[in-house]
Amino acid sequence: MKVFIDSGDIAEIREAQSMGVIDGVTTNPSLLAKGGRPTKQVIAEICEVVDGPVSAEVVAVERDAILREGRELAKIHRNVVVKVPLIDEGLKAVRIFAAEGIKTNVTLCFSAAQALLAAKAGATYISPFVGRVDDAAGDGMELVLQIVTIYRNYGFPTQVLTASVRHPVHFVQAALAGSHAATLPFKVIKQLTRHPLTDVGLAQFLADAKKIPEMAPRTP
């Protein structure tokens, strides 16, 4: 499963990239607004840090406006994926983007029916928001499994990008369900490396290492 970082913070992205586990980046207007810098500038910088898909979201909600904005975003770098909301006008734009060879990430997906329509429109990625589904008393991971199953049933090339991941359990469940990718906040990526038994084991190894006598230098 591909691992994307969900962030607009260059420092976070650089740190995650240095771990060697990041395949791409997803952003959204809320994340980018925290930095207070122009969207295109930040996206261009991210593309220089991570050589993989970088989702940049449009803020338009009408087809022609989505197309204009998305085409400008796609010009920033060959790795840019235009992030489009799962609405009627968004699907109209996705269909045209697909014909033009522009990759898309259809976002704010909350049902398998929506995901099926996005795939038919030609989406490159579909982003089911598992955490928000859970918040609404639904089952986010069941949604991922449904989408993966439907796509496999009909051979859709659209990749499932599990989003709104809140904790390591979501991450593992997404992998078990066959999700092609998952996008994670930096704090969740750091949580994935941690386990109390790892900490205990490392502490023991370090303590035992101090008991090993150093080898005396050889006399010539």
How far lies 147's CA from each of 104, 114, 144, in Å?
17, 9, 5
The catalytically annotated residue of 2, 40, 75, 83 is 83
Is 83 among the catalytic positions? Answer: yes
Q: Would you give per-residue pLDDT tens digits along the chain (220 residues)?
A: 999 999 999 999 999 999 999 999 999 999 998 888 999 999 999 999 999 999 999 999 999 999 999 999 999 999 999 999 999 999 999 999 999 999 999 999 999 999 999 999 999 999 999 999 999 999 999 999 999 999 999 999 999 999 999 999 999 999 999 999 999 999 999 999 988 888 888 788 888 788 888 755 566 5
Which domains does the chain carry?
2-209 (3.20.20.70)
| pTM confidence score | 0.91
Q: How far apart are the first and last CA of the chain?
A: 56
Contact 147, 115 (CB under 8 A): yes
Q: What is the 3-state secondary structure (H, E, C) of 111-148?
A: CHHHHHHHHHHCCCEEEEEHHHHHHCCCCHHHHHHHHH
